[in-house]
Each structure stands twice: as C-alpha cells, then as structure tokens.
Amino acid sequence: MRVRSTSLVSQVLLVGVLVAALAWVIFPFYWAFLNSIKRPADTFVNSFVPFLQFQPTLEHWLAEIAIPETRQALLNSTLIAVGAATLSILIGTPAAYALARFRFKRPNNRFFTTWFLSQRILPPVLFVIPFFLIMRELKLLDSVFALILLNATFTLPFSVIILSQMFRELPRELEEAAYVDGASAFQAFAQVALPLVLPGLVAAWIISMAFSWNEFLFALSLTTKNGIPMPVIIAGAEHTRGVQFWFVGVRTMLTLLPPTILALLAQRYIVRGLTLGAVKG
C-alpha cells in the first residue's frame, strides 16, 4: 500500500513539473498572440480571454504586413535561413563523410571533431568586430549574403557532427559492394551513402535553418537597412512613448509561423533523422 502511495505521489509530482514546464514554454507565445489581437488600451489591462474580456482585432496584423520594411525583413530572414542552411549542408556533408570513412593522422579525426564543436562553444560576440572589419573590406556590410556566410559558418558544426554519426552507422559493406560493381569513391558516396542518410540531411538542414532564422547578434551588428531580418525588426518596436506591445506581438508571431509550419510539415523526417542508428536490431 505504501509503495502504491509513493508511486502515485511521484506521478503527481512528475505531471506537475511537466505542466509547469509546458506553461513556462507556451506562455510567451500566448502573450505574443494576445497582444497581437488587442487594441493598445487593452494591452495595459489584465485581460486574457478574447471576446469575453476584450474584443479582438486584426488591425495590427494588417498594419504590420502593409509596412514595406516588415515584408522586406521577412524576405531577408527567409533568404538568410535557407541560404545558410543549404550552404552548411553542402559543405558539411562531404566533411562528415570524410570524418566517418577516413582516418587522419596529423591532425587526427578527434582533433577535427573537437575543432568543429569549438565553433559552437566560443561566444559569437568575440567575432563581431573581426567579422565587421572583414565584411567592410569586402563591401558586404548591410547585405543578406554576408549574413548567409556568417550563419553558415556557425551552423556548419551541427551538420558535420549529426551527419558524421549517421554515416558511421551505415555498414561499410554497402559501399564496398558498389566498389565491386565498378563504382568510384564519389559514386559510392553520392549514389549509396547519401540517399540512406536523407532523413538526417533534412533534420540537419532544418536545425541549421532554425538557428539562422533566429540569429540576432550579427544581424544587429552588420545590417542597417537593406539586410535587416525579422529578429532585428522585433527589437525595433520601441517608440518614443514606450514599447508598442501590439506590434511586438505581431512581429513575434510573423517570425514564429514560417519555421513552425516547416517543422510540422517535416517532423517525420526530423524524427527519423535524429533517431537514425539509435536502435540496432
């Protein structure tokens, strides 16, 4: 009886912790959505139930979408995220395959893996000034292309680490059979190994895209007008009379919708990619 009571208490505590964690994660999105459909006067009143405590409106959505800077920022964010993720995959896939299939001596494979991981451990703020000076010399300041290059640099470790592990899980015999049939090393890579890790490619691409979509520091430091993405637009909702919470809500929801929809559409590939090789029969 005591064991059953202890088990019940543990389950209740676990459910309570999960509910609290879920509320902690969901509340900012709920706050952003509510403020996006409230009139300015309603944002300063404790009202949380639409139609009962306040009358919702879409005027802020229509006004925000009508702003050319917002539409340009959405386009910039899309170009930056897609471009950086694609470039990261194009460079990271051959590097991951090389780490998985070849053995290097000086420096060895462990050194290369550690070096790739270090690119994520180091604080990005250390590189703001050097990258600013480089982009100024290349005349790439305030451009989407500069942010694509920078985001691809910092998302490349994800592609390499994720894909290298997936290539290691593939039996070498598959590629050796291709060699016996007369395939070259590149053909074995492109026609045998690459199709088998396609879910991993999709997962790595989406993860890289999400990090590039949310990047704020380099976008704030290197853009002034033409290359501004949505995270910088969200931070710019401050007016002389204070923060315009209704526009913050709309901009936050506009920023969240594209990656959320993409993740929902590709969740099957994400799960398969991240669990590839996790279970061996």
Give residue 126's pLDDT: 86
For tokens 């600013």, the residue is 132
Look at 107-116, 192-201, 263-272 and tell me which has the smallest mean pLDDT.
263-272
Tell me the percentage of the chain whose pLDDT exceeds 90. 27
89 class by beta-carbon count within 10 Å (0-12 exposed, 13-18 middle, 19+ buried): buried
Using an 8 Å Cβ cutoff, are 83 and 206 in contact?
no
Contact call for residues 109 and 98 (beta carbons, < 8 A): no
Q: Cα–Cα distance between 68 and 50 in angstroms, integer?
A: 29
Average pLDDT of span 66-90 = 93
Say if residue 94's pLDDT is above 60: yes
pLDDT of 19: 92
End-to-end CA distance of the chain: 39
pLDDT tops 50 at residue 278: no
The answer to whether residue 228 scores a pLDDT higher than 70 is: yes
238 has pLDDT over 70: no
pTM, 2 dp: 0.84
Map residue 54 onto helix, strand or coil. strand
Cβ atoms within 10 Å of 95's Cβ, excluding its own:
17
Predicted local confidence at residue 52, as pLDDT: 80
Over residues 146-168, the mean pLDDT reads 89
> In this structure, what token pair is assigned to residue 3?
């064991």
The reported pLDDT for the residue numbered 279 is 42
Residue 236 has pLDDT above 80, yes or no: no
pLDDT at 276: 55
Query: Taking residues 199-217, what's their average pLDDT?
Result: 89
Q: Are 216 and 235 in contact (CB under 8 A)?
A: yes
Most trustworthy range by pLDDT among 12-21, 30-39, 81-90: 81-90
Question: What proportion of the chain, given as a percentage, has pLDDT over 70?
Answer: 91
What pLDDT is stored for residue 277 in this prediction? 47
